[in-house]
Structure 1
Amino acid sequence: MNTKQLDRIHTGKGFIAALDQSGGSTPKALLQYGITESSYSTEEEMYALVHEMRTRIIKSPAFDSEHILGAILFENTMDRFIDGQLTADYLWEKKGIVPFLKVDKGLAELEDGVQLMKPISGLDDLLKRAVSRNIFGTKMRSVIKEANPAGIKKVVEQQFAIGNQIAQMGLVPIIEPEVDIYSADKAASEKLLKDEISTQLAALGKDVKIMLKLSIPTEDNFYRDLMDDPHVVRIVALSGGYSQAEANEKLSRNDGLIASFSRALSQDLAAGQSDEEFNATLSSSVQSIYKASL
Structure 2
Amino acid sequence: MATDTATHEQQFDRIANGKGFIAALDQSGGSTPKALKLYGVMEDAYSNDEEMFAEIQKMRARIITAPDFNSDKILGAILFEKTMDAAIEGIAVPQYLWEKCGVVPFLKVDKGLEEASDGVQLMKPIPGLDALLTRAVAAGIFGTKMRSVVKEANEVGIKQIVAQQFEIGLQIAKAGLVPIIEPEVDIHSATKSEAEALLKAEIAAQLDALPEGTKVALKLTIPDEAGLYDSLADHASVVRVVALSGGYSTDDACARLSKNTKMIASFSRALTEGLNAGMSDAEYHSALGSNIDKIYRASI
The residue number in structure 2 matching 1:179 is 185
* Pick aligned residue for 2:131 from 122, 125, 130: 125
Matched, 1:270 2:253: no
Residue 193 of structure 1 aligns with an amino acid whose one-letter code is: L
Partner SS state of residue 249, structure 1: helix
Distance in 2 of aligned mates of 1:110 and 1:269? 32
Once the two structures are superposed, residues 218-237 of structure 1 have per-residue CA deviations (whole angstroms, 9 ceiling, x without a partner) of 10000001111111000000
Normalising to structure 1: TM-score of the pair? 0.99
The one-letter code matched in structure 2 to 1:232 is V
1:110 to 116, 127, 130: 116
Deviation of residue 99 (structure 1)?
A: 0.3
Q: Distance in 1 between matches of 2:115 and 2:56?
A: 27
Determine the C-alpha separation between the residues in 1 that align with 2:186 and 2:217.
19
Q: Distance in 1 between matches of 2:120 and 2:54?
A: 33
Letter in 2 for 1:54: R
Shift of 1:160: 0.1
- Structure 1: which 5+ residue stretches go unaligned? none
Give the Å deviation of 1:45.
1.0
Q: Give a deviation string over 1:203-227, Cα, whole Å, max 9, x none.
A: 1011110000000001000000111
**1:14 counterpart (16, 20, 26):** 20
Cα distance, 1:64 vs structure 2: 1.2
Q: By how many angstroms is 1:148 displaced?
A: 0.5
Which residue is equivalent to 2:29?
A: 23
Match of 1:155 among 139, 147, 161: 161
Counterparts of 1:107 and 1:77 in 2: how far apart (Å)?
21
1:194 partnered with 2:178: no
State whether structure 2 residue 255 is matched by structure 1 residue 249: yes
Matched residues in 1 for 2:28 and 2:194: separation? 30
CA distance in 1 between counterparts of 2:233 and 2:241 reads: 7
Alpha-carbon RMSD across the aligned residues, in angstroms, is 0.6
Q: Map of 1:203-214 to 2, 5 A cutoff?
A: 203-214=209-220
Aligned sequence identity (%): 62
- Aligned residue type for 2:9: T
CA distance in 1, matches of 2:213, 2:26: 28
Residue 90 of structure 1 corresponds to 96
Q: CA deviation at 1:254?
A: 0.6
Match in the other structure for 2:297: 291
User: Is 1:43–2:56 an aligned residue pair?
Assistant: no
| Secondary structure class of the residue paired with 2:94 | helix
Shift of 1:44: 1.1
Distance 1:149 1:256 in 2: 26
Partner in structure 2 of residue 76 of structure 1 = 82
Please tell me whether residue 238 in structure 1 is matched to residue 256 in structure 2: no
Report the Cα offset of residue 62 of structure 1.
1.2
Task: Report the AA paired with residue 18 of structure 2.
Answer: G
Other structure's SS at 1:201 match: helix
1:43 is displaced (CA, Å) by: 1.2
Q: The residue matched to 2:223 in structure 1 has which SS?
A: coil
Counterpart for residue 164 of structure 1: 170
Give the counterpart letter for 2:219 in structure 1. K
Aligned mates of 1:256, 1:111 — CA distance in 2: 31
Deviation at 1:167, TM superposition (A): 0.1
SS in structure 2 opposite 1:154? helix
2:106 match: 100
Q: Which runs of 4+ in 1 moved over 3 A?
A: none
Residue type of the alignment partner of 1:252: S
**How many residue pairs were aligned?**
294
1:79-138 CA distances to partner (integer Å, 9 max, x unpaired)?
000011110000000100000000000000000000000000110111011000000000
TM-score between the two structures when normalised by the length of structure 2: 0.97
